[in-house]
Amino acid sequence: MTPSTILLVDDHPIVREGYRRLLDRVPHFRVIAEAADAAEAYKRYRETRPDLTIMDLSMPGAGGIEAVRHIRQWDRTARILVVSIHTRPVFVQQAFAAGSLGYVSKASGPSELLAAAAEVARGRRWVGQDVARDLALGQLDQGESALADLSAREFTILRMLIAGSAVDEIAEALHLSPKTVRNHHYAIKAKLGARTDLGLALAAARAGIDGSDV
């Protein structure tokens, strides 16, 4: 059986090393590349074309949601498993909307990560147990529904705005013009019913998103 090749994406080298050690113990997995941010993830994906990408969400710059969206835009067959500290429904919904096939919490045990990796590598969907629980409960929370309506790019820009990034910084990170970022900014406020940036921050905070999420 030919091993499934894997790209690891996480901004913490120690975390990547932990994943590598775990995955390398399994005969049908082989880690072939690593990346520390969204831009490097896209570059390394195009260079190596892995069978599976294991992706964090909270990274410097554009972040994991944008990395998922960008990779899937280039390769519609890309199989991506998100492994994140975030279990709030809006993060899970946005990850799947961007194109991921699976989502597990970093609090999950090694056996669940390996099971998720095996399923996603086969092209099957996977949602971790604690993530599925929070997702089900989140259906009752109307505060997050508006954020779920944001596109993956809008969600990325919202998170960067909340973290204090300036329009020019966001434009550079996402390879957009400042005018396009401002247009997205206005669209996000309209979708969330926020007239000001303070209102935008409050809407995000009600859904559990703040500057520490980026």
Q: Taking 90 as the threshold, does the pLDDT of residue 211 lie above it?
A: no
CA 156 – CA 170 distance, rounded (Å): 9
pLDDT at residue 137 in the model: 61
CA distance 98 to 152: 6
Find tokens 């901004």 and name the residue.
11
Per-residue pLDDT for 212 more than 80? no
Q: Which two tokens stand for residue 159?
A: 């998170």
The pLDDT tens digits of the residues spanning 134-158 come to: 776 655 555 556 677 788 889 889 8
Q: By the 8 A CB rule, do 35 and 61 touch?
A: no
Place of tokens 């859904």: 207
Question: pLDDT exceeding 90 applies to what percent of the chain?
Answer: 56
**Domains detected in the chain:** 4-138 (3.40.50.2300), 142-213 (1.10.10.10)
* pLDDT exceeds 70 at position 214: no
Query: Which pTM does this prediction carry?
Result: 0.76
Question: What is residue 202's predicted lDDT score, i.e. its pLDDT?
Answer: 81
Block residue for tokens 């120690």: 14
Mean pLDDT score, 65-93: 92
pLDDT band at 159 (very low <50, low <70, confident <90, very high): confident
Top pLDDT among 182 and 1 is at: 182
* Higher local confidence (pLDDT), 81 or 87: 81
61 phi/psi in degrees, rounded to 5 = 80, -135
User: Around Cβ 159, how many Cβ atoms within 10 Å?
Assistant: 25
Which has the higher per-residue pLDDT, 20 or 149?
A: 20
Alpha helices (H) along 5-128: 13-24, 38-48, 64-74, 89-98, 110-121
Contact indicator for 51, 23 with CB cutoff of 8 Å: no
Q: Which amino acid, residue 94?
A: Q
Rounded to whole angstroms, how far apart are CA atoms 60 and 172?
Answer: 13
